[in-house]
């Protein structure tokens, strides 16, 4: 059984946030049930996606910095 998830944000329509949009677009299986635990799972999922997105950007920035500076020493 699928459950589509909609999150209200202040972002303008058509603005893509990244990996979160993929998850929201496909929806998630309703395996968590309803109640406080479901909210906790959603928050954890959001935090993990946010951290993954930030980590990816940090890695890309580090690689670009290495290319710009070249080999040190």
Burial classification of residue 65, based on how many CB atoms lie within 10 Å of its CB (0-12 exposed, 13-18 middle, 19 or more buried): exposed
Q: Give the pLDDT score at 22.
A: 44
Measured CA to CA, the distance from residue 68 to residue 73 in angstroms comes to: 14
User: Which tops the pLDDT comparison, 24 or 10?
Assistant: 10
CA distances for 13 relative to 9, 20, 26, angstroms = 10, 15, 18
pLDDT tens profile 38-72 = 678 788 888 888 888 888 888 888 888 888 887 66
DSSP class per residue in 9-21: -SSPTT---SHHH
> Is 0.85 topped by the overall pTM?
no
Task: Tell me the two tokens of residue 56.
Answer: 């990816």
| CA atoms of 45 and 28, how far apart (whole Å) | 11
The residue range of the domain holding 40 is: 2-69
pLDDT at 55: 86
Split into its structural domains, the chain has a count of: 1
What pLDDT was estimated at residue 21? 45
């Amino acid at each position: 059984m699928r459950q589509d998830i909609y999150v209200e944000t202040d972002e303008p329509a058509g603005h893509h946030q990244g990996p979160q949009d993929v998850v929201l677009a496909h929806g998630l299986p309703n395996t968590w049930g309803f109640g406080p635990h479901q909210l906790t799972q959603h928050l954890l999922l959001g935090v993990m996606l946010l951290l993954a997105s930030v980590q990816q950007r940090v890695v890309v920035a580090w690689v670009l910095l290495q290319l710009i500076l070249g080999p040190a020493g």
